[in-house]
Structure 1
């Protein structure tokens, strides 16, 4: 019951007490509790700067589970050498002439006439770049595989690019628009690699996948993956175990141009025991393949077209089958997305190098892009030397498995963190970029500064404001992926332009040299033909 007394002064006392408590809390310096870094709760940030960022220990390194992801590159080389020496031959007309029983690794199915016409590119017609962030090529051999990529694009020859990354490109973010841009310029069609089965298929817009009867595992679930499957990962990062009757159907979509239809496709799988598999094209053409058991990668390569949908079914022999997925599109420019959430790149060392090499023999990658590091960066950490050493090993490992491919390290993207002054660029970015660039330079690989490209477009703050990135100020979305992809495509176009310019310069030099040689020959001929004066 109201007693008529005035208690408002107590509210002011309570408010004053609360302010006093918050002021005291803001004076507590940053500290770590149980390995978790706690920042200062500073309500006086507009008045007082405690200099916490400057006081951060610059010498501390980011924690890495290096022991868990240990790699011995010499043993990898030995394993690849043993695989190469022991590889069973393809069937021949006279199997008795070989020491090994013939094993068929490629099953071909031609459903039409494929267009193999080359369409060279006119460098003058390449789309101009508003702001160019060039690719840095640190090759010192004089025969850069990146230059070979530019030459193939210029000539209109087929080019295949693998993009290995984390959740930054999950669901075909960035790669969908890189693929579309390159295919619009250099030809080609199809969505590239799509796994046999995955819980994330619904998130990907560039292919419609329906699968049943498969149990998928990704490489970040290594410890919970059945032991017999742990040695079956290749760079896709996914393996799928089927039951008899397991099936998958992939269908092109209109989410991007040139996805549907595609001209060719291939399905990748293992069949350690005898099996029988069925493949369907456009829900109208069907063919059964009997596969003899062997411990090698298999592919069913479909050529001709058009292909609107592709299906694969394990009719018999499921216990010996491991499913990987399909690559939709085989001509022109192809871009395959191999993303695994939470992967910082070290999981590459858990893939089977022999399987990677077999995949390379079938697919023929010209460029492998490493998009990692976002999960490693931490505010206040400025020393990434230990991670840089791991990147050096990643590049070396990729080169062992994909010896003909160029390797491009994508620098980390721009990223912002919440501070007392609002969202600001993470202070670790330039140090991580220096680490990645240094690793690429040490290995003679290539490097592209993603954060600088984003910075030229206004940085993460503008990406969020424009709806190109999430409110976590870390992950871009499909709209942001389009912007970054166009910047990377511009960098590739620039390489093609320079290749065309150098080729023209060589032609002119050869033409001038030929003219000089022709003039000398003509002068000698005229001298020999001139009448001799008789004295």
Structure 2
């Protein structure tokens, strides 16, 4: 049946999807929703594009209104105002916390880009810890921000290749189950990496789902000490603090834990900025539409996200057409669904990077890069999301060739992926654009002349003042 389905798909899909090579990369998975979207491309009517011709005027939010932008200028800082408010609180009072979910594909595999983006934010605003880490990971061996090991008797379901999981996918797009094994223990092990702000396993907390299993427990092993903790899988989402302190290493054995859905372990110190890396090789971003709303809201209650980053494009390029209307529509649905799952969250879309393809024996920017980046900008505007044009930040046309061939090289010979030096450069570029928006926010905030208004129905105390803005008292 699988072979028949493959042959059937091949008849209708663009020829460019199938490589001339007979070599198959077992690590790359093209998500099924992307294939379905491409198949439906021919049914999408061509529409008149007016969004590129109109000025984007922003509505004031919390007393701040960013200037009007053109399509070419668009960054959408206005849609990051809630995030900027939280960062301002951190910077000025040292109180509060900010959490970011960074979704990506192979570009962020092994915590590349994200680890440096995280480090930059934690250096400026505080925060310790690597964030949320999966139970198992295909990129564990290449990750330096945390050393991650696990036994082979875990069953994994991913939203890239399973539409109807046994239990809903977690915020990382996965759900994990122990395989029944009466001989070999089922375990996970983490060791803190040596990177700044990620040198400890801060308050390790296990996240797991609902089950009727009343016998399960976890043996937490720290050096020579072992503490057995009972699992209580009664709610849609449950947490278990594995250690009240910060550790260097942690091992957990899972005992009689059959049927319980596990999601991952979170490491953070509870203040400052924390960034979770949810990367999946081969992901287009479309599978996020399968998130279970109720479970995501439960995750949000526990973690409290202020920003979701969507960094995709690598797996969307080169499908035989430069009309990415199908992707615009699909990702618009994704963003709307994320806003339903995480009410009040800000969204930041990062475009495809430059990619080079051989034309007449010369490596040049692939002709699909600019159309895809434009499509990503359009659905960002339509969805009220901020936007980073990574293609232009890299240098625009021909930039990937330079990143590969200049010394020292910042990208690999596939003319698609960055090496560690290039990944740090990309993280710095993204961070700089976000901080530029934040600095503009502070200037606009200062101009709005905040005033203090006390609640007339409550007795006044030094903590009862409410900050409003003269420009927005009508709100």
TM-score scaled by length of structure 1 = 0.66
Unaligned 5+ residue runs, structure 2? 1-10, 19-32, 41-71, 453-475
CA distance, structure 2, for counterparts of residue 217 and residue 429 of structure 1: 31
CA distance, structure 2, for counterparts of residue 221 and residue 379 of structure 1: 20
What's the counterpart of residue 174 of structure 2?
Answer: 238
1:439-458 alpha-carbon deviations (Å, 9 max, x no partner):
11111111111111111797
CA distance, structure 1, for counterparts of residue 307 and residue 34 of structure 2: 30
Q: CA deviation at 1:294?
A: 2.5
What's the counterpart of residue 201 of structure 1?
Answer: 140
8 Å CA contact retained: 1:138, 1:441: no
- Asked if residue 485 in structure 1 is aligned to residue 422 in structure 2, the reply is no
Question: Could you say if the C-alpha distance between residues 147 and 184 of structure 1 is closer, same or farther in structure 2, counting changes exceeding 3 Å?
Answer: closer
1:457-503 alpha-carbon deviations (Å, 9 max, x no partner):
97211221232211111111222110010111112222332233234
Q: CA deviation at 1:147?
A: 3.5
| Structure 1 residue matching 2:37: 3-state secondary structure | coil
The aligned runs of 1:201-240 (5 Å cut-off) are: 201-212=140-151, 213-222=153-162, 229-240=165-176
CA distance, structure 2, for counterparts of residue 231 and residue 299 of structure 1: 16
- Tell me the number of residue pairs that the alignment of Structure 1 and Structure 2 aligns: 387
CA distance, structure 2, for counterparts of residue 391 and residue 63 of structure 1: 11
Q: CA deviation at 1:385?
A: 0.8
1:123-169 alpha-carbon deviations (Å, 9 max, x no partner):
xxxxxxxxxx99822757xx943433443443443111111111111
Structure ranking higher in helix proportion: 1
CA distance, structure 2, for counterparts of residue 134 and residue 190 of structure 1: 35
What's the counterpart of residue 36 of structure 2?
Answer: 65
CA distance, structure 1, for counterparts of residue 221 and residue 197 of structure 2: 18
CA distance, structure 1, for counterparts of residue 443 and residue 324 of structure 2: 38
Farther-moved stretch of structure 1 (429-438 vs 496-505): 496-505
8 Å CA contact retained: 2:171, 2:299: no
Question: Could you say if the C-alpha distance between residues 455 and 166 of structure 1 is closer, same or farther in structure 2, counting changes exceeding 3 Å?
Answer: same
| Structure 1 residue matching 2:373: 3-state secondary structure | helix
Question: Could you say if the C-alpha distance between residues 387 and 191 of structure 1 is closer, same or farther in structure 2, counting changes exceeding 3 Å?
Answer: same
Which entry has the higher C-alpha Rg, 1 or 2? Answer: 1
CA distance, structure 2, for counterparts of residue 395 and residue 307 of structure 1: 36
TM-score scaled by length of structure 2 = 0.74
- Asked if residue 394 in structure 1 is aligned to residue 394 in structure 2, the reply is no
Unaligned 5+ residue runs, structure 1? 1-31, 40-61, 70-132, 512-535
8 Å CA contact retained: 1:137, 1:146: no
Dislocated runs of 4+, deviation >4 Å = 32-35
The aligned runs of 1:52-451 (5 Å cut-off) are: 64-66=35-37, 136-137=75-76, 139=78, 144-155=81-92, 156=94, 157-212=96-151, 213-222=153-162, 229-242=165-178, 243=180, 245-254=185-194, 256-272=195-211, 273-278=213-218, 280=220, 282-283=222-223, 286-301=226-241, 305-316=245-256, 318-330=257-269, 331-378=271-318, 381-451=321-391
CA distance, structure 2, for counterparts of residue 320 and residue 33 of structure 1: 40
